[in-house]
Amino acid sequence: MMDGQNVYILKATCKGVIGTVARITTFLAERRCYIIEMSQFDDILTGRFFVRVVFSTTPGRTPAFDDLKRVFGEQIPHAEEDFQWEMHDTLVRPKVLLMVSKFDHCLDDLLYRQRTGDLKMEVPAIVSNHPDLKSLADWHNIPFYHLPVTPETKASQEARLLEIVAETGADLVVLARYMQVLSQDLCRKLSGRAINIHHSFLPGFKGAKPYHQAHDRGVKLIGATAHYVTSDLDEGPIIEQAVERVDHSHRPENLVAVGRDTECMALARAVRYHIEHRVFLTGNKTVVFR
């Protein structure tokens, strides 16, 4: 994606009909918008069409962004096609609230990528049910909220979390190894804007010490899965997965180390795809333009 001013992203989905691409590209061309990148997918099984367009404009020669959005919304969507669309300014960095418990590898990785500009996002807050990683948040000058969770406080702490999301204007919530199960109500309120990393690639080993279970089963592939949070625990729409090959020489602690790497990779890619508006939710699945 190009750096600099006046680069925008159009993301749209509708019923698969003839002429959708022509309508979009003609609209942009008539307003002297230059298409930098275009990805599209026609799902013949569901009859849905998905398209993502990255385009640039020239100051003084093309409409302002707000005008472009308004006119697009007036001219392009057809109700009978169930046309759903978004348009984003790439200079506006999404705000990503990070949640963590005690394991710091995914949090540290995301903060490093944000600090170096690899992930173009803002981190307005870090929320944890433990105080252990406050020093990491302080080093990055990011507000840290300690919200300890017990069966008695779960509802009130989730309500406080939603307040923090609203106060910070967070566009996305990332569970960077946050080891608490979210309530169905919270999952519903964060639907489509909360990502979790699960320390497993099928077959999954649930419960304590998953890498020790994997070692006992003699697995040859381990990995991690990044998915949207739903009320079905660890079964939300998958955004990205990462795997590494292992063999009989890997002890449990070696598998833990390899697992940390796959978790970081899968989660960072999933966050990138989301904040770059590359992900479409479609039922229990996703369409991801990598």
Could you give the residue numbers annotated as active site?
234
Query: Which structure tokens are listed for 226?
Result: 């990044």
C-beta contacts of 72-78 below 8 A and 24+ residues apart: 72/10, 72/27, 75/27, 76/23, 76/24, 76/27, 77/14, 78/14
- CA gap 228, 238 in Å, rounded: 7
Residue 57 CB partners (closer than 8 Å, separation 6+): 6, 8, 31, 32, 33, 34, 63, 65, 68
* DSSP state for residue 2 in the 8-state scheme: -
Lookup result for tokens 């369409």: 287
